[in-house]
Structure formats: structure tokens, C-alpha cells
A = this chain, B = another copy of it.
Amino acid sequence: MGRVVVEVMPKPEILDPQGKAVVGALPRLGFTQFTGARQGKRFELEVDGEVTPEVLQAAREAAETLLSNPIIEDVVRVADASEESAGVSA
């Protein structure tokens, strides 16, 4: 079973109230090193077989049509989840 990760962020010029809430809360919790925050979406799409180039192409098309609103959002990443960099917490 393969998995494709699609990530979508609000465009830089678009107001992001959720990000604003995060950036306001961080210093109150002692996280003073962060100067900005934006909040977007991460989708994981599953396929029965492997993540082929055709699957990635279909995921890109789905990302631009169903999973994002191109007026206010950018698709920042479409990738095979198995190739995801290890930077996992804990």
C-alpha cells in the first residue's frame, strides 16, 4: 500500500487567522524564538499499489482542483510518503 502526501498552505498575502492565533500563543507558553506562524493542511492519500509517477501526477491534479483553492492557497508539496525526510519528532 502506497501513500502520497499533499500539502497546502495559504498564500503569503492571504490573512491566516489560525496562524495568527498560533503566533500569539507561542510566546505565552514560553516559546519566544518563533516570529511567525502559518497554518495549512496536510493530506495523506492511499493507493492500493505502489506510488508510480502516474499516481503522483493524479495526486498533483487532485491537489490543484479538490484539495486546494488556487485563489487563496498554494500546493507546496506532493510527494511519496515513503520518501519523506525522517525529521519526525520523538
A44 in contact with B55 given A75-B89, A80-B87, A89-B78 (CB within 8 Å) = no
Could you list 8 examples of A-B contacts with CB < 8 Å?
A: A25-B66, A31-B66, A35-B48, A36-B45, A37-B43, A40-B41, A63-B89, A75-B90
Interface size range of chain A in the complex: 35 or more
Copies in the complex: 2
Is A11 in the interface zone, CB < 8 Å from B? no
Residues of A within 8 A of B (CB): 4-5, 7-9, 19, 22, 25-26, 29, 31, 33-48, 54-56, 58-67, 75-80, 83-85, 87-90
A62 in contact with B31 given A39-B41, A41-B39, A45-B36 (CB within 8 Å) = yes
